[in-house]
Amino acid sequence: GAVVSQHPSWVICKSGTSVKIECRSLDFQATTMFWYRQFPKQSLMLMATSNEGSKATYEQGVEKDKFLINHASLTLSTLTVTSAHPEDSSFYICSAPAQGRTDTQYFGPGTRLTVL
Amino acid sequence: AQKVTQAQTEISVVEKEDVTLDCVYETRDTTYYLFWYKQPPSGELVFLIRRNSFDEQNEISGRYSWNFQKSTSSFNFTITASQVVDSAVYFCALSLPGGYQKVTFGTGTKLQVIP
């Protein structure tokens, strides 16, 4: 079946550095992908919509200059957390709609980011 | 805008008991999809069930069943004969069809099944 992968699964970085997280659709194409953030013991909140070949759409309150999204191909979207700080520590999850369907989303396994 | 409310923050049950997780949603759209996801401690979301707004038929799938009532905007989920492996956080969610299919999640209910 369709699978969405994320890399890395976890990352620890120092404050001030940038971290890139990859989201790949493994056996289907995704012109749209979604990035969610989940703080400990909280729900998943949509951060942005990644659109292949065009600019990402960010949800209100999400800094687009801090969370850079690049959807360079039909199977890959990347989220770069620039100048990360401890408050950016979170669980980041991407998802992609199933090709040809409007009722199914495939979620990646998530990336746990810890900023020291 | 869509909104999903899970009033139960945490539930504890003894193994083999039945447990129902409540979910109430809000949307102005007439076509939408409702979901239940399970999130074990590993963090990966596990898809459980999906229902579209035109299908209020309630079904049973193994130990899982759901009660979808549009009149009360509720989509409750029941686990029968709970097991320790059912311990996780459960999210109710809603999405709209079409090209913009972002998922709106509820706040989650943490279920602990005690052996």
B47 contacts: CB under 8 Å, gap ≥ 6: A107, B35, B37
pLDDT at A102: 72
pLDDT at A4: 95
Q: Is A81 on the interface with B (CB under 8 A)?
A: no
Examine the pLDDT at A1 and tell me if it is beyond 70: no
pLDDT at A87: 96
Q: Is A9 on the interface with B (CB under 8 A)?
A: no
Positions of chain B with pLDDT lower than 70, given as ranges: 98-100
Examine the pLDDT at A103 and tell me if it is beyond 90: no
Answer yes or no: are the C-beta atoms of A38 and A45 closer than 8 Å: yes
Given CA atoms B5, B91, A109, A16 in this order, what sign does their dihedral have? Answer: positive
Average pLDDT over residues A61-77: 94
Nearest CA in chain A to B103: A46
Among residues B66, B34, B68, B31, the alpha carbon closest in space to that of B50 is found at: B34
Average pLDDT, chain A: 93
Task: Tell me the per-residue pLDDT of A8-50, one tens digit each, with 9 for 90 and over.
Answer: 999 999 999 999 999 999 989 998 999 999 999 899 999 999 9
Q: Is B71 on the interface with A (CB under 8 A)?
A: no
pLDDT at B77: 95
Answer yes or no: are the C-beta atoms of B67 and B78 closer than 8 Å: yes
CB contact under 8 A, B102 and A93: no
CB contact under 8 A, B43 and A49: no
